[in-house]
Amino acid sequence: MTKKHNIILQPSGRRGQADEGMSIRSAARELGVEIESICAENATCGKCMVLVEAGRFEKYNIESSRENLSPVGNEERAYLERRPKLLKDKGWEIGQVRLSCQAKICGDVLINVPEESRGNKQIVRKSARDRAIEVKPAIRKYLVTMSPPTLERPIADWERLAKGLETSMGLVRNGEENLPRWYDLQIDYQCMRTLSKTLRDAKWSVTVSVWNDKEIISVQPGYHEDSYGAAVDIGSTTVALYLCNLRTGEMLAAESEMNPQIVYGEDVMSRIQYAIDQPDGLEKLHKAIISTLNKLLKQAAKTAHIKMDEILEMVLVGNSTMHHVLLNLHPKDLGLAPFVPTIHKSVDIKARELGLHINASGNIHVLPTIASFVGADTSAVILAEEPHKQDENWLLIDVGTNAELVLGNRKRLVCTSTPTGPALEGAHVEYGMRAAPGAMERVHIDETTLEPKYKVIGVEGWNTDHAEFTGQVKGICGSAIIDSVAELFRAGIVDSRGKFKKDLDSKRVRQGESGWEYVIAWKEETSIGRDIPITQQDVRQIQLAKAALFTAARTLLKRMDLQSPDKIILAGGFGSYIDKEKAMLIGLIPDCELDNVYAVGNAAGDGARIALLNIEKRNEIDAVTRKVERFELPTDPEFQNQFMLATSFPHMSEPFEHIAHLIPNRKTDPLAKNFMK
Amino acid sequence: MTKKHNIILQPSGRRGQADEGMSIRSAARELGVEIESICAENATCGKCMVLVEAGRFEKYNIESSRENLSPVGNEERAYLERRPKLLKDKGWEIGQVRLSCQAKICGDVLINVPEESRGNKQIVRKSARDRAIEVKPAIRKYLVTMSPPTLERPIADWERLAKGLETSMGLVRNGEENLPRWYDLQIDYQCMRTLSKTLRDAKWSVTVSVWNDKEIISVQPGYHEDSYGAAVDIGSTTVALYLCNLRTGEMLAAESEMNPQIVYGEDVMSRIQYAIDQPDGLEKLHKAIISTLNKLLKQAAKTAHIKMDEILEMVLVGNSTMHHVLLNLHPKDLGLAPFVPTIHKSVDIKARELGLHINASGNIHVLPTIASFVGADTSAVILAEEPHKQDENWLLIDVGTNAELVLGNRKRLVCTSTPTGPALEGAHVEYGMRAAPGAMERVHIDETTLEPKYKVIGVEGWNTDHAEFTGQVKGICGSAIIDSVAELFRAGIVDSRGKFKKDLDSKRVRQGESGWEYVIAWKEETSIGRDIPITQQDVRQIQLAKAALFTAARTLLKRMDLQSPDKIILAGGFGSYIDKEKAMLIGLIPDCELDNVYAVGNAAGDGARIALLNIEKRNEIDAVTRKVERFELPTDPEFQNQFMLATSFPHMSEPFEHIAHLIPNRKTDPLAKNFMK
């Protein structure tokens, strides 16, 4: 029997076992992770480069090391040695970076697949709303030309520049009030240090970058029109950085990396625990994220053909734990009752204080947090979607392993959060996987024959559209899991309590190894040679997740004295893929006009960009978040009760008008009394 | 013949030769530097500790090292080993610190005599004006007691504190307007990092230190009333630090050290040159001063029994070169035409940016510079003396190797500077020395007999008051040099051109080794076994110095369209010792009512303390210095001509009404036509 080894693929989080001697690329494909290649695995195109992470990864219970792969062969070495600049730029070394078509597995490994090697990039759907960002950056540039000092007029360099700048600001921004007088202008200390030399080298004609109309943070010789900034969304799993031109608003580069903290804990609670348990835990977590941010900055600057010190500002968002760790604040009290962050308000610090390699005088702006589990990422979502400017009541839901919810209008906003577990993202579901080629993404079950049809990522149409279907199905991604559960319910295969009916006339409904299950794909349709079922356990996972989410939404609605929201905004990649009708059918989201349910993609990233490009938005979100009312679910007296009721499909005591026609047996099911009309 | 070695004593700057085998203490005494001792040189009292500086000192053309002293003997070692805490606190090691009664000279050495070992401390006379400083510090402390966070009210730590602080500030400062709202308060990033832990350790009752009514820079558990700050005057030769209680204004410690930059150049021009010539020149100069400031801070904190991080602010002054080097700004352009500083305006920076070991969140305030050679020390003198609040025209003169002059009133101030050379401080004068025991400090010459009488520091009365005078005279300090030259002129021994008359009936007027001279003390009256004369060369030195100073003053008076100032303020130690009538007689200072000439001592240090204790004074001096008009003497078309006229006594074309009666031969001297009335 062939020996098996564990392989974990990041940033997708996909994990599984691979036969000894199998190449990383093949093993990854089996796990639904496509890695690029155009040289037929001949070690010549380099498209399939991956990184081996070394260390002990407690979460996966593996010890990964370079030695757990076959040694770097001659052809692979020859290829890598032809790319010294790439390796240097990325900070990779041979052995750490491998051609995944060549490296064979001979032990447990955790592999990081960099953005450029990923086969099928996720496509995030466009937002329902137009998001034209008004560009009003914190940094403005002015050309200042001075007469050189003379013995008769030996005024100091700074005052000479500030007086010239006062004139330039006035000329450029004719009519604007409240421009500072020259003697009220400030200059950042590090910028001051090189001022005299720069002015003389530049022959007294320089471009000055002014932050927030008050502080000079850069003085460049000659005329420069553009300045640059970076917006960053620090997710628990993935860190995404967008490099923008601050004058035009144009996005010049988008880079992402796995969050390196993942080796210290998969979710935020385990990272908080790590920081509590290890004396240098916070230090390690903090340094890891700073170093990844610097790597992303370097890559983005390279892509955009600019120098890193031309980047004059960064705006960062992330959940409260990511926020604290970024700022080197101990996250202990985020994880212990009564769950309190160190600070809500947005933070401005000099890049050099955090060791971020943009211009040393540049500003780092971190958006405000709202609560211990409603972080700066939610602030960014609010900024992007603007519920605080609506007359209607909007419900914003950002789903991940944790879900944050914000409800309200221009007068009042309430928020809460709830753990939902990883089931909604396709993890901890028996055949769950991330959205990738080979993943089922849509499922439909005929309510008469109980036969399914499905769509697979990378294959056109439904499986039943093909005369001979060879879909090579590998698993089920989040959207298809919700589809499946909704369809099992709609077709009457599971009841409103989520239990499989055992008396149905279908060979697909059967008792499997771990209990009752419904087979969606027979093994002939798969690439893994096994039937792919949805199990009772999978249905339970979804029930728990959706009950948590629904209870959170209901709690907020109750606080606002509402039965249902006017609009539901689903933020994050997850929301973009799910079928909103199915989501409503299982009671994942509250009842609402289906046309008023929107998926807006990475709204947190959008919000970070908005704050980067428009300084007024920073004050706006500070003021809004100051007024958001926070509710901790466990403090709600009805929470447990509500939660139990919410585990049923779609809900034990809620009338879901907009999907009522889809509810099976609604005349006979005693639990479906709400739908009996 | 006994071998001789060079010995330099700092901070006095006294230098000379000592016989091989002589103890440092004895050699120092010969040079007029008294070192304490109460154990009769038995190596048991430790009062005579001195430091050997190692390195090459270009200015003195010597190479100093520990090896140029006799090895540390058993008794000396035994003593020093009994003082481990002292050595540790001061950062001294055995061999570097020596008992000067034990260490014998066997090579060239540069010795630093620490404050505590100095025998006769200089006494600076009190200012003519009362200087009651209104205490209005930048830092205020408030006790804030909060209710702990709960699940129902899980507001973040910072917002909880800020809201409590808003209340506390309002309660304490009832009626004051413009107190910031809690959400406008800032917290320094380094202070934020430990906030959560401090609040919990303190059980939600803390003392908050607020800087400038807007930024929290310290949060201490429990109730604390006092906070501390340090005012520093960085002189080219000596650095003086005053530690103050910011609530009461009380001075808790005064510490001084030699400016360590002296090894890189004695005066500012040679230090600027060093920074230009050496690639790491500025870095070395900067690190040297920072490290000395940290040493002084440590000593002061120890004296006052406080912790260094309880010091929350520093205010520093110094000439423009000291200012630039402190701030790590390259001083190059200070020394090259058109002589321009990097910045005039006062600078606020975080202590951690400069590596100063007060509280990391503490502020460093550096007073504004006025011109390349009119630095932050002059700003401090203005702040202390307040010419800008007068109706009269005041002339401020701060004399050192360079003299800075400020003239004017509440409507207009003008300033300039001039090099005066070291003669006025007793250096570069044949028998010149600093004010110390054995130094002549007053001289009178009888105009009939041409016989002198003099006073010696450490001896009561005039030498002629003693039946048998054993004054052990060693040299002539600055005040006596001016006395001597003035008396030589008044008695008609030198003419108004400064030339010795050769036909006088006195054995004291004679041709010496280097030309004509007047013997003030015969060798029997001295401890050095040689006659002590004032030479033609010495008179010339004083003529050049006083001409420079007078021309500068006259230039300013002309710019203000004045004949003479209403009041003359002499700042610095020098001004405190000279006889103002004599100074006027040789034309060192312009003609003025003698009662209106004041010596105010270390006004720069006073000004630094004023700015430390009263934040409003910082804006005041920024505004005042912005309006001061600067004049560079070399740009004045009449400068050379004026300078030549000013070399004569008291001046070739100025009527010195207030000392006219003292002018000899004023009826017959063709140069004295101004006084013929």
Q: ipTM score of the complex?
A: 0.81
The reply to whether B113 and B151 lie within a common domain is no
| Residue B170 pLDDT class (50, 70, 90 cuts) | confident
**B342 touching A, CB under 8 A?**
yes
Query: Is B612 or A178 the better-scoring residue by pLDDT?
Result: B612
Listed in sequence order, the residues at least 6 apart from A619 whose beta carbon sits closer than 8 Å to its beta carbon are: none
Say if residues A268 and A341 touch (Cβ distance below 8 Å).
no
Residue A70 contacts B, CB cutoff 8 Å? no
DSSP A181: P
For residue B273, give every residue at least 6 positions away whose Cβ sits within 8 Å of its Cβ, in sequence order, or none. Answer: B265, B335
Under 8 Å between Cβ of B3 and B107: no
pLDDT tens, position by position, B193-206 = 999 999 999 999 99
Mark which of A182, A203, A221 sits at the end of a domain.
A221
User: Is A104 inside a domain boundary?
Assistant: yes
Q: What is the CA radius of gyration of chain A?
A: 28
Whether B111 contacts B28, CB under 8 Å? yes
Q: How far is B132 from chain A (nearest CA, A)?
A: 30
Per the CB < 8 A criterion, the answer to whether A450 and A491 are in contact is: yes
Residues from chain A contacting residue B329 (CB–CB below 8 Å): 192-193, 196
- Number of neighbouring beta carbons within 10 Å of residue A175: 5
Cβ-contact B361, B191 below 8 angstroms: yes
Confidence at residue A674, expressed as pLDDT on a 0 to 100 scale: 58
- On whether any CB of chain A is under 8 Å from the CB of B336, the answer is no
CB A96 within 8 A of CB A52: yes
Under 8 Å CB pairs connecting chains A and B tally to 126
Quote the minimal CA–CA distance from A353 to chain B in Å.
9
Q: Is there a contact between B252 and B311 (Cβ–Cβ < 8 Å)?
A: no
Q: Is residue B150 part of a domain?
A: yes
The residues of chain A scoring below 50 in pLDDT are: 121-130, 676-677
The pLDDT, as a whole number, for residue B238 is 87
> CB distance A157–B630 less than 8 Å?
no
**Rounded CA gap, A353 and A349, in Å?**
7
Match 């300084």 to its residue by tokens: A615
Q: What is d(CA B267, CA B262) in angstroms, rounded to the nearest whole number?
A: 8
Distance of residue B301 Cα from the nearest chain A Cα, in angstroms = 27
A237 with A213: CB under 8 angstroms?
no
CATH number of the domain that A43 lies in? 3.10.20.30
Domain span holding position A35: 4-117
Per-residue confidence (pLDDT) for residue A666, from 0 to 100: 64
- Domain identity same for A169 and A92: no
Same domain? For A174 and A208 the reply is yes
pLDDT digits (tens, 9 = 90+) for A173-225: 777 778 889 999 999 999 999 999 999 999 999 999 999 999 999 999 999 99
Q: Do A337 and B151 touch (CB under 8 A)?
A: yes
* Distance from chain centroid for Cα A121: 14
Which B residues in the span 200-219 are in contact with A, Cβ-Cβ below 8 Å? 200
What's residue B466's pLDDT? Answer: 86
Q: Does B192 touch chain A (CB under 8 A)?
A: yes
Distance in angstroms (rounded) separating the CA atoms of residues A590 and A555: 11
| Of A497, A531, A496, A528, the residue nearest A517 (C-alpha) | A531
- Shared-domain flag, residues A106 and A144: no
**Geometric angle at alpha carbon A308, from A303 and A309, rounded to 5°:** 150
- The answer to whether the beta carbons of residues B607 and B382 sit under 8 Å apart is yes
Which amino acid would we find at residue B262? Answer: I
pLDDT of B128 over the 50 cut? no
Number of C-beta neighbours around residue B560 at 10 A: 17
Inter-residue contact A372 to A379 (CB < 8 Å): no
Nearest-angstrom CA–CA distance, B129 and B571:
12
- Residue B466 Cα to chain centre, angstroms: 35
Tokens of B257: 């050290």
Summarize the confidence of residues B63-83 as an average pLDDT.
Answer: 89
Q: Is residue B565 part of a domain?
A: no
Structure tokens given for A611: 């704050």
Q: Which residue has the tokens 């001592």?
A: B601
The reply to whether B627 touches chain A by the CB within 8 Å rule is no
Give the distance from residue B340's alpha carbon to the nearest chain A alpha carbon, in angstroms: 5
Bin B418: left if φ > 0, else alpha if -120 < ψ < 50, else beta: beta
Q: In this structure, is residue B521 part of a structural domain?
A: no
pLDDT of residue B37: 67
Chain B residues near residue A150 by CB distance under 8 angstroms: 338
The answer to whether residues A110 and A174 belong to one domain is: no
Spatial separation of the C-alpha atoms in residues A43 and A100, rounded to whole Å: 9
Average pLDDT, chain B: 89
Name the percent of chain B lying above pLDDT 90.
Answer: 60
**What values do phi and psi take at B333, rounded to 5?**
-75, -10
Facing A338 at nearest CB: one of B150, B344, B347: B150
Over the stretch B2-30, which tens digit does the pLDDT of each residue have?
Answer: 888 999 888 777 788 888 999 998 888 77
d(CA A577, CA A124): 9
Asked if B347 is an interface residue toward chain A (Cβ–Cβ < 8 A), one would say yes
Are the C-beta atoms of residues A96 and A66 closer than 8 Å to each other?
Answer: yes
pLDDT at B528: 83
Residue A268 lies in a domain: no
- Residues of A (386-415) whose Cβ lies below 8 Å from B: none
Which of A170, A188, A221 terminates a domain? The answer is A221
Chain B positions touching A344 (Cβ under 8 A) are 155-156, 158-159
Q: How far apart are CA A101 and CA A27, in angstroms?
A: 10
d(Cα A629, Cα B168) in Å, to the nearest integer? Answer: 25
Number of Cβ within 10 Å of residue B201's Cβ equals: 12
Residue A193 touches partner B, C-beta closer than 8 Å: yes
B337 touches chain A (CB under 8 A): yes
Nearest one of A549, A524, A416, A391 to A470, comparing CA atoms: A524
Q: What is the DSSP letter of B8?
A: E
Radius of gyration of chain B (CA): 28
Q: How far apart are CA A582 and CA A578, in angstroms?
A: 8
Do B112 and B152 sit in the same domain of this protein? no
How far is the C-alpha of A503 from the C-alpha of B337, rounded, in Å? 101
Given CB atoms, is A639 within the 8 Å cutoff of chain B? no
Neighbours of A123 (CB within 10 A): 11
Smallest CA–CA separation between A89 and chain B, in Å? 30
Record the tokens describing residue A113, joined without a space: 């697949």
The domain that holds B172 is classified in CATH as: 3.10.20.880
Which residue reads 């200015």 in tokens?
B59
- Specify the pLDDT at position A123: 29
Confidence at residue B129, expressed as pLDDT on a 0 to 100 scale: 42
How many CB atoms within 10 Å of residue A499?
A: 12
A340 shares contact with chain B (CB less than 8 Å): yes
Asked if A157's CB is within 8 angstroms of B192's CB, the reply is no
pLDDT value of residue A474: 86
Q: Are residues A106 and A180 in the same domain?
A: no
Same domain, residue pair B9 and B111:
yes
Which residues make beta-bridge pairs with A418?
A: A403
Flag whether residue A622 sits within 8 Å of chain B, measured between CB atoms.
Answer: yes
| Cβ proximity of A656 and A675 under 8 Å | yes
Percent of chain B with pLDDT over 70: 94
User: What's the rounded Cα separation, in Å, for the pair B69 and B23?
Assistant: 9
Q: Which residue has the tokens 């005279």?
A: B473
Give the closest of A149, A187, A626 to B183, CB-based.
Answer: A626
> Which B positions 366-385 lie with beta carbon below 8 A of chain A?
369, 371-372
Residue of chain A whose Cα is closest to the Cα of B184: A345
* Mean pLDDT across B147-173: 91
Nearest CB neighbour to A154, from listed B154, B329, B338: B338
- Contact (CB<8Å) A189/B634: no
Tell me the β-bridge partners of A316.
A232, A366
What is the pLDDT averaged over residues B444-473? 88
3-state class (DSSP) for residue B294: helix
CB spacing of B195 vs A342 below 8 angstroms: yes
Identify whether residues A59 and A155 lie together within a single domain: no
Contacts with A342 from chain B: Cβ below 8 Å: 156-158, 192, 195-196
Looking at the complex, does the CB of residue B175 fall below 8 Å from at least one CB of chain A? no
Q: Which of A154, A157, A339 sits opposite B371 (nearest CB)?
A: A154
Whether residues A97 and A168 fall in one domain: no
Instruction: Kindly report, residue by residue over B474-503, the tens digit of the pLDDT.
Output: 889 888 999 999 999 999 999 999 999 999
Residues from chain A that touch B624, judged by Cβ atoms under 8 A, are none
Residue B118 has pLDDT above 80, yes or no: no
What DSSP designation does A371 have? B
B151 to A332: CB separation less than 8 angstroms, yes or no? no
On whether any CB of chain A is under 8 Å from the CB of B182, the answer is no
pTM strictly above 0.90: no
In a domain, A292, yes or no: no
Least confident of A5-14, B48-57, B444-453: A5-14
Of the candidates B183, B193, B344, the beta carbon closest to that of A329 is on B193
Q: Half-sphere exposure of residue B431, counting CA atoms within 13 Å on the CB side?
A: 30
| B394 within some domain | no
Of A478, A453, A430, which is closest to residue A578 (Cα–Cα)?
A: A478
Residues of A in contact with B349 (CB under 8 A): 189
DSSP for B154-181?
A: ---HHHHHHHHHHHHHHHHTTT-S-PPP
- pLDDT for A207: 96
Residues of B in contact with A183 (CB under 8 A): 345, 622, 626
Q: Which range has the top average pLDDT, B18-32, B171-185, B617-631?
A: B617-631
**Alpha helix segments (H runs only) across B208-280:** 268-277
Phi, psi of A27 (to 5 degrees): -60, -40
Q: Identify which of A150, A158, A338 has the shortest CB distance to residue B345.
A: A158
Residues 6+ apart with CB under 8 A from A285: A261, A264, A271, A274, A275, A325
Examine residue A163 and state whether it is found in any structural domain, yes or no: yes
Structural domain count, chain A: 2
Each as own residue / partner, the long-range contacts of residues A631-637 (CB below 8 Å, 24 or more positions apart, any chain) are A631/A414, A631/A415, A631/A416, A631/A555, A631/A556, A631/A559, A632/A338, A632/A339, A632/A371, A632/A416, A632/B151, A632/B154, A633/A416, A633/A417, A633/A418, A633/A551, A633/A552, A633/A555, A634/B151, A635/B151, A635/B152, A636/A555
Task: Yes or no: say if B76 and B38 are a contact pair by the CB < 8 Å rule.
Answer: no
* A contact residues 298-327, partner B, Cβ 8 Å cutoff: 327
Q: Which residues of B touch A369 (CB under 8 A)?
A: 156
pLDDT tens digit sequence for B249-297: 999 999 988 899 988 887 888 899 999 999 999 999 999 999 999 999 9
- Whether the CB-CB separation of A318 and A375 falls below 8 Å is answered with yes
Question: Do B197 and A159 lie within an 8 Å CB cutoff?
Answer: no
Q: Which residues of chain A does B343 touch, with a Cβ-Cβ cutoff of 8 Å?
A: 156-159, 187, 192, 195
User: What chain B residue is nearest to A334 in terms of C-alpha separation?
Assistant: B156
Can you tell me the mean pLDDT for B365-372? 96
Give me the residue from B151, B155, B329 closest to A632, CB to CB: B151
Chain B residue nearest residue A160, CA to CA? B343
- In the listed set B60, B82, B117, which residue is the last one of a domain according to the structure? B117
- Residues with Cβ within 8 Å of B462's Cβ and at least 6 positions away in sequence, in order, are B442, B444, B453, B454, B455
Among A337, A344, A353, beta carbon nearest to B189: A353
Question: Looking at the structure, do residues A190 and A99 belong to the same domain, yes or no?
Answer: no
A329: closest CA of chain B, how far (Å): 5
